[in-house]
């Protein structure tokens, strides 16, 4: 256990590379424990008029609550607010972390404020839109080509009907040319 640990740290998100200021304190430090012991003693003197053994119960309770609070604050602060990436979840299961980022992304693009924000996901969203539009145009072109070839197959080329052209060596009334 450290005597004193820094509350904030500057880091970069591993997914969107945004600079972040996160809670770096994962556990209570020795200073917190000593302060809790002093506070428990003071409470004991104030309530019971002397140092009572019940101060130990207060000390344990406050320390456990403090540790839980500090740990959950650290854990929640790890998740990037810009892209939803969770490094702890990524260590356990990369697929689950990817799913979480995808869900976060879908939630963001459904929000109209997202287009006006400075989110690093905007560039990703624009690229995604361009790719989707190109795929759609490609699909339409393929569909048009397919329908054209099908209609050409269904109606084969028929010689246009027109006046019968008689060649010079044929004589009118001669049935041999029929």
Contacts with Zn ion, residue ranges (CB under 5 A): 13, 15-16, 80, 82-83, 85
Q: Which is nearer to Zn ion, 39 or 124 (CB)?
A: 124
Of 36 and 84, CB closest to Zn ion: 84
Residue 45, helix vs strand vs coil: helix
Query: To the nearest whole angstrom, how small is the minimum distance from the Cβ of residue 84 to Zn ion?
Result: 7
In the Cβ-directed half-sphere of 137, how many Cα atoms lie within 13 Å? 6
Smallest distance, Å, CB 29 to Zn ion? 28
Q: Compare residues 70 and 80 and give the one whose CB is closer to Zn ion.
A: 80
What are the structure tokens assigned to 8, written together?
A: 């904030």
Please name the residues in contact with 72: beta carbons below 8 A apart, sequence gap of 6 or more.
Answer: none
Query: Rounded to the nearest whole angstrom, what is the least distance from the CB of residue 101 to Zn ion in the complex?
Result: 8
User: Is the CB of 83 or the CB of 97 nearer to Zn ion?
Assistant: 83
> Do 66 and 60 contact (CB within 8 A), yes or no?
no
Minimum CB distance to Zn ion, residue 70 (Å): 23
50 or 92: whose CB is closer to Zn ion?
A: 92
The nearest distance, CB 15 to Zn ion, in angstroms, is 5
Residue closer to Zn ion, measured from CB, 36 or 119: 119
DSSP string, 74-128: HHHHHS-TTT---HHHHHH-HHHHHHHHHHHHHHHHHSGGGGGS--THHHHHHHH
Candidates 29, 22, 23; CA nearest to 5 is 29
Q: Is 13 exposed, middle or buried (0-12, 13-18, 19+ CB in 10 A)?
A: buried
């Amino acid at each position: 256990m450290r005597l004193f640990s820094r509350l904030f740290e500057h880091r970069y998100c591993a997914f969107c590379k945004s600079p972040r200021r996160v809670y770096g304190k994962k556990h209570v430090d020795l200073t917190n424990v000593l302060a809790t012991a002093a506070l428990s003693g003071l409470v004991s003197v104030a309530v019971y008029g002397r140092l009572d053994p019940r101060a130990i119960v207060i000390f344990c309770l406050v320390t456990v609550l403090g540790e839980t609070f500090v740990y959950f604050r650290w854990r929640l602060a790890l998740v990037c607010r810009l892209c939803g990436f969770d490094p702890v979840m990524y260590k356990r299961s990369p697929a689950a972390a990817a799913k979480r980022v995808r869900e976060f992304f879908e939630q963001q693009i459904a929000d109209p404020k997202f287009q006006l924000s400075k989110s690093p996901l905007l560039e990703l969203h624009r690229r995604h839109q361009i790719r989707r539009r190109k795929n759609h145009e490609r699909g339409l072109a393929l569909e048009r080509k397919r329908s054209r070839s099908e209609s050409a197959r269904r109606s084969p080329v028929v010689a246009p009907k027109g006046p019968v052209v008689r060649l010079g060596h044929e004589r009118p009334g001669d049935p041999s040319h029929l």
